[in-house]
Structure 1
Amino acid sequence: MKTTCFLSRIKYLLIAAFALLLTFSCAKPNDGTVVKIGFSQGMNTDDWRRQLNKSMVIEASLHPEVNLEIKDANNDVQQQIKDIEKFIDLGTDVIIVSPIEAKPLTAIVEKSVKKGIPVIMVDRKINSEEYTAYIGADNIEVGRIAAKYIVSNSNGNGKIIEITGLKTSSPAYERGLGFSQIIDQHPQMKLVSVINGDWESRSVKPQLKKLLQSDPDIEYIFAQNDRMALGAWETAQELGLENKIKFVGVDALNTPNGGIELVKKGILQASILYPTGGNEALRLALKIYNKEPITKNNLLNTIVIDKINAEIIKSQLDKVDQQQTVIKQQLENISEQEREYASQHSLVRLLTLFLMIILSLAVYSIYSTISISRKKRQLERINSTVTDQKNEIEVMAAAAQRSNEAKLSFFTGLSHEFKTPITLILSYAESLIENDKIKGTRIMDELKLIYSNSHRLLRLINQLLDFRKIEERKFNLRASKTNIYSFTSQVMANFKGEAARRNIDFRLVADHKDTEVYIDNSIMDKVYFNLLSNAFKFTPDNGKITITIKDGADNTLKILFKDSGIGIPEKEINMVFDPFFRASNNSKNSSGIGLNLSKEFIALHKGTIEVRSRQGTEFVITINKGREHLLQAEINSATTTTEYNTSLLQDDPEFEHLPEINVLTPGLEKYTLLVIEDHPDLVNFLSSKLSAEYDVHTSDGSNAVTLALELVPDIIICDINLVGTDGFEISRILKKDLRTSHIPIIILSAQSNKESVIQGMQAGVDQYLAKPFSLSVLRQSLTSLLFNREKLRYYYTNNIYRVEPESKFGTLEQDFISRMNTHIMENMDNPKFSVEELADKLHVSRVQLYRKVKAILGMSISDHINNIRLEKAATMLREADMNISEIAYSLGFSSPNYFSTAFKNKFGVSPKEYKIKG
């Protein structure tokens, strides 16, 4: 074993070394974090924006970790929106935007920020503050500087023409604003006209030409960029005014025909430097990515460039460009050297690893030669041990087989023993049922319950015996020619009552009604019963169950059982035919062997059964037509039948329900009882035993709370284990709801441990009874709880509007009565105050208010309002210095006569007599 471990380790070492070799040989230099930065450029049609792109690319080259992607929108706003959307979809770390227009880009920039992708605005902003940072020159200050320069250099004429950029762009507005602020402060300066351009020289020439022709006496023309300034100069040149008028532009780019070059040539008097901020924008993006503190508005400095400093600044900018070019070239050389170094380094490691592998293989080869002989001897010893263990296992398996057979034989014998007493019970029950003296009495219903449950127990035992016979392969098929449509109709007849009672659409559909097949009727009946029992068990009321008989391919017949029930979880669909399988969504009692038996029974017929679960469950049985697929011994040629007696199914408790008994007591109003229980036999039992004293309503738990709020019953009996919920939760909900908090609740459960009882008390139940229970104890519990509620009612009716805080009754009821009485007292003088208004103030419906008051006080809400008014009237008659009419109207009575009549009905004397006696 040690040799095996060593060899295994050598093998894994070699594999690991080879994998490491591949890793080193494929590794890339500078394999660090990549920062994805996207730049959405509005256009590349002018030198300024090209300079912006260039400065950003040069700055990115200084940061190896940066992956900069520039998208040019070609002056198309919609294209720029799409470009930014693409950056968002790609998960770009930071987005830089140089907008064409502010308003259209506002929404997409806000979207990016909401998704957690920072956005830096360059040159222009959007129409909101929902961006991460802004970088660019102060356009208002640019306008001011231009104006100050013109004012300081004016010879006194003072006539100025301003040429603005695109109206919808923020720089045009801000530069014009700053320019106007300064010009307006100097009365000697006069802004003759403002021409709206689109940042290009061609847009200003026609308008300017007309202006200069009409008024050539212009001292300065201020254009918001150098291109429009050059266009203005060209227009003036056409008119011979280029030496008379002075031109001031903005941008001062160090490019051919840029602002600095135009100043040097004397075309422009001056140009205001408008820095691109490309390198600053990229550095700001890295700060944001690294979560360093930043300033939201980052303004770049600007200066005036004229003939005095143009040459110096151009020289400096040329040197900066040269240095940036050199740096870029050096970075490319360094990257090339790093790649060469990484390649050589990987090659050295590769050779080292090959050497290690060769040495390891040599050691392994030497060691293998030595260890093979040892391993051979070890294997011989292991083989001997395995042979001995195999012999022992065979002996143990034989003993286990004998033990298992003994257990199964005992199980089978015991199951047979059960059949005798059950058969006796069934016989005696059936005999009593046929007794004419008992027919029509309540005992008959109890006997039917005994009979049906005994019959169900007998069927379960027969199923267990069938399961044992299937395991031992002792079933013998006795197939006979059968009309499958008639056979199916006869079996379905036993389920028609259940279908009608639950309003289930239960139907049979067949391609042909005269199709005959060879089946064993008794065995196939069990298959039908199992499939239909499951269908009815899991199909809700008002559902649908369909049996379809249709011709299949290759001379086969298909029988489909389709229901609209809860279905089977998809991951469990392959396990439904396993013995004792129970689906995870199955809360019903089930042995788990019925479907397994069905599959085996169909296999005896040389057929198949499949299951599908889509909007319910569908079982598909496929059997062959004719008799060629059966052995001669499996065919009962002496009997050909089209009828089969399935009367044994008729008394099954799942489909035979006892009638509800509702004995009315003449002249006496019954209390309303709500029974929340999902066991149908227990529900019928309680209904039959208690319907004489109570108006019984039932729920299986699924609609318990809704039904309780609708009925507002006098008392509730509730089980714990219910479908989809439990009695504790139902009790807790009802006790916390003002509309039902007064209703006594009795828990009736098989869980009798201390923890369950405590949990029930915590949920607010009034009494906890354990199963099996005494009917007399249950009756007395109902009586006692209702008596206690009558005491509560007596207290409230005798303290009509004086509910004391220290009363021992429920705080919800106390609060409800107090609030109700307060609202009544506040509206006592309002004859139009209605029950609907009172219910609205208490946040309950009119019906719920009526039932709540009726349950607590034993009177209608209208009578209660009148009683409060009359109690108040009695106090006022004794204490207030008012006549009877005044008291009647002050308490909301429509007339003194009606007040007197109502007062006398309650107190037995008229108001006048009461006042005299008082």
Structure 2
Amino acid sequence: MMKLTTIINLFMLLFLFSCSQGQEEKQLVIGFAQCTGGDAWRKAMHSEMKRELSFYPELELVIKDARNSTSLQQQHIREFIDQKVDLLIVSPNEAAPITPLVEEAFEKGIPVIIVDRRTSSSLYTAYVGANNFEIGRLAGNYVGELLKGKGRILEVWGLKGSSPAVDRHNGFTSALKDFKDIKIVAEVPGEWEKDIAKEKFPDFYHQNKQIDLVFAHNDVMALGTFEYLKSIQQEDEMIFVGVDGLSGPNGGLQFVEDGILDATFLYPTGGEEVIRLARKILYHEPYEKENMLSSTLIDGRNVHIMKQQTDKILSQQSSIERQQGKIQKQIEVYQNQRILLYFLSAALLVIIVLGALALLSLKEKQEMNKELSAKNKEVIHQRNELARMARKADKATEAKFKFFTNISHEFRTPLTLIIGPVDDMLRGSVSAEMKKDLQLVKSNALRLLNLVNQLMDFRKIENQKMKLQVAEKDVVGFIKEISASFSRESRKRKIDFSVNSQVESLKVYFDSDKLDKILFNLLSNAFKYTKDGGKVSVTIELSDTYDKVIIMVEDNGRGMSEEHVKNAFDRFYTGEVYSNLSTGLGLALSKELVDLHKGEIAVVSEKWKGTKFIVSLPLGKEHLREEEIILPASETLEPMLDALLSSGNEEPDDLLESEELSTKALHRKDKTILLVEDNVELRAFLKKRLQKEFNVVDAADGTLGLSMAFDTVPDLIISDVMMPGMDGLQLTSELKNDKRTSHIPVILLTAKDSVEQKIEGVQSGADMYVTKPFSFAYLYERIKGLIKSREMLRDHYSCEIPAEAKQAVVPKQLDKKFVNEFLAVVEKNLSNTALNANDIAESLGMSKVQVYRKVKALLGYPVNEYVVKVRLKKAKHFLLNSEMNISEIAYEVGFSSPAYFSTAFKNHFQISPSEYRATHLVKD
């Protein structure tokens, strides 16, 4: 392997050497600060410079274009000076501002070549350019002779302030002094650009229309004036003279040949001369400081010869460039071939060595392959085994989730059968010793229920089913309300219990149910492990950054060891303190619930000195998702659900304590309750208790219960949720969606007590949701409340049966079924002004005659008359219990107009609606 490494290193050295041989490094940098590079003359100069540079590969030319901006050119020269270029070429935009920088470069030892335009100083290395004054003078003499000593001239200037423009103007006017009758009548600022000259020329031209000749400082400005005059058809009356005489399709030579210009004066670019001069200076060869380029007149007499010569030169230059390109490609091919040869030689050497090494290591690799193959089989076997175990783990997890779901129902039903009879016995007359035992039974049953609830909460957290339902509430008041439930125990045990808060109230987004569990668990532990006469406190304060609320529950009880503090929130960890008293679920569950709030919980404790639990919850709602926030319709969610699930007007406590409902004769033996429950013992227990007051029929499953509901049309239905076949939710949905049973109140009994499951019960149409285990007294009072509320609603919204019926005949069971269906249709469509007997008959699936006869026989009224009585009864209720005006009430109860409603109301009650409202409201 060492030999192989040496060979590879040798190969890399050969490769790098060959690459270095194929590269020509640039050694000398020439900076060119160009005043502008956009016109044809400058482009011709650049082309000549680049062609000449192709002969000197050691030279690198960097051109910066100032775009006719003196300040930008100053910046470019400064950059070249800072870069310390080997030679600086400057074509000044304006002489005076550029001169100081040229002098600075010259004084710092950087050779400076001035091109085309001079500076205001002689501190430079060399100058290359034509004599602009001489060109101007030649142009002036030519124009004087052409005009025969008499005429008016319009002069188009280059950039005023630049030395070429000034020199050409001075030379031109100097020559015209010999011609007294020739005058320059206007000077157009063309700024060396065709478009600018073309734009500004008209103003001067129209002020001095008697113009014989246009003299422009370059050919493109002369072209601009020509194009304008051509557009107004005045070009034939004018003579055009320019300067530059460039070759090519857009040069002055072409303009003269095409007859656009009458004459131009050659102004050579000097690109080749500049590069030759720069090389001489850089290599310290002899050179001339002043390098003047010659000029000549170009007009119709010599333009053809000049153009042929320049075209020939351009053609030759093009051929030279193509040849140079081919030569360069051949050089590149040669370099590439040389590099490839080095590479192949090195590769061949490496291949030979590698081949030798491969032969030597073949046997070793074969042995390694055998070993790897065996290991691969072992890995595949282990992978398959892991996959099998993972599938078993998934099945076990799924079975665990199903177990936790079902275990709740299995525990809660027996707990109902324990707590129900115990409550009955406690309310009865039993001895003090027996009552103590019964209290012990009830306390442990409730404790078992709490453990089941904690296990179910953990199941929801593991399965990611536990969701926050937060609302903005006063956390101080909430904590005081929770803490108040421990006041009795604190007084009994003489424990100093206090709740302290920095603020009177503080709005915080939290889930009431989950914060209740957290606080109740922490306070329960504090009281459990604090001796009688000890101290427990709850402190509420804001964090130092005012972005969190901090809740501290502190006691001076037994405390925890360091090991216990470290594992306090671990699931099922009990430690030495809880070894015989707890499952270790409470604190772990509290931490999970705090984490759901995006909060933190910590514990500080010392053995035999006390414990402090610190809960911090973030303020605001930025940390919460939108679906976790609910509208705070009430202080807690349970009263809201009770309000939704109860169709009566009384609250649960009112029902439990109501003397009126417990004593008033409701003819309950005339009321039928359908009991649907799959647990035989619970069904027998409830039936036995309810039969004392009601007529009870029962069913063992949802399918049979639905059939019996249609047959008997009971006054109330009690159903379990979890049953084989059709469950309680499906049963409720079927009942509420059938016109025959939709009016029957339904109470659901279930072990599922989560908010989501209660809402699901409400959505199915249940009137009440009772969680197992439940108090039979509570269930009994809710049954009476629901039946009573149905009778009150019937009194409000329909005619009494048989109180106002003309025939005092109590309907039979089958007839009662028809009456219930009839009443349901009438109440559902009461606001429909077009409701008639045909519509009701169609809804009931009967003929109009059958409906008319049945209603007349059972209720004593024709269908339409009965509907009117129901509408008037409901209107009377609205008059006393709503803020709607009389017109709104008339349409709400189905009258076609307020006038018809007022007439019918007065005929029935002998008083107008307005008088009825005024009279009864005053009495109230």
- Confirm or deny a common fold (TM above 0.5): no
TM-score w.r.t. the length of structure 2 is 0.36
Mark the structure with the bigger radius of gyration.
2
TM-score w.r.t. the length of structure 1 is 0.36
